[in-house]
Amino acid sequence: MNDDTSEEKRRFTRVDFDATTTVSDNSGGHWLTQLIDISLNGVLLERPDAWQGNIDDAYKIEVQLNNDITIAMNVTVAHIEKTQVGFRCEHIDFDSISHLRRLMELNLGDATSINRELSMLGEN
């Protein structure tokens, strides 16, 4: 799904990043998987084994950056592919958005574009 129209619709910069990630649902289910990329608006993950989610289902994502730093988001399923799942961020706490912002700045080297994307989040 990397055609020109999908790229034009994308408003948030994605950063390729490999990190262990946990997907949890409200009924106590949880799946360990790998992060493919992350943006201020969501994540793309490897599709977890035995995961049976549907579009718009709600989950919590925890991306483990290191032993001390975790980015946590409340998300909904945006799209499901054979080997990948895209989640849209619905809520992120202050500490997590601070860690995510720093991760994006370090990987992109451009704080101005990150600030612009953060202001777009506030408009939604």
Q: Give the chain's end-to-end CA distance (angstroms, integer).
A: 24
- Residue 6 falls within a domain, yes or no? no
Q: Which range of residues forms the domain containing residue 101?
A: 14-123
Which one is predicted more confidently, 109 or 23? 23
Q: Is 65 left (phi over 0), alpha (psi -120 to 50) or beta?
A: alpha
Number of domains in the chain: 1
Q: Average per-residue pLDDT in the chain?
A: 84
User: For residue 1, what pLDDT is reported?
Assistant: 40
Residue 49 has pLDDT above 60, yes or no: yes
CA-based nearest residue to 22, from 57, 65, 78: 65
Domain assignment present for residue 71? The answer is yes
pTM of the model: 0.81
The CA–CA distances, whole Å, from 90 to 5, 41, 83, 110 equal: 24, 8, 23, 24
Q: Whole-angstrom Cα distance, residue 37 to residue 19?
A: 9
* pLDDT at residue 103 greater than cutoff 70: yes
Q: Confirm whether 44 is domain-assigned.
A: yes
Question: Using CB atoms within 10 A of its CB, is residue 119 exposed (0-12), middle (13-18) or buried (19+)?
Answer: exposed
Tell me if 87 is assigned to some domain: yes
Position 9 in a domain? no
pLDDT of residue 5: 36
Look at residue 3 and tell me if it is in a domain. no
Q: Give the pLDDT score at 102.
A: 85
CATH code for position 19: 2.40.10.220
8 in a domain, yes or no?
Answer: no
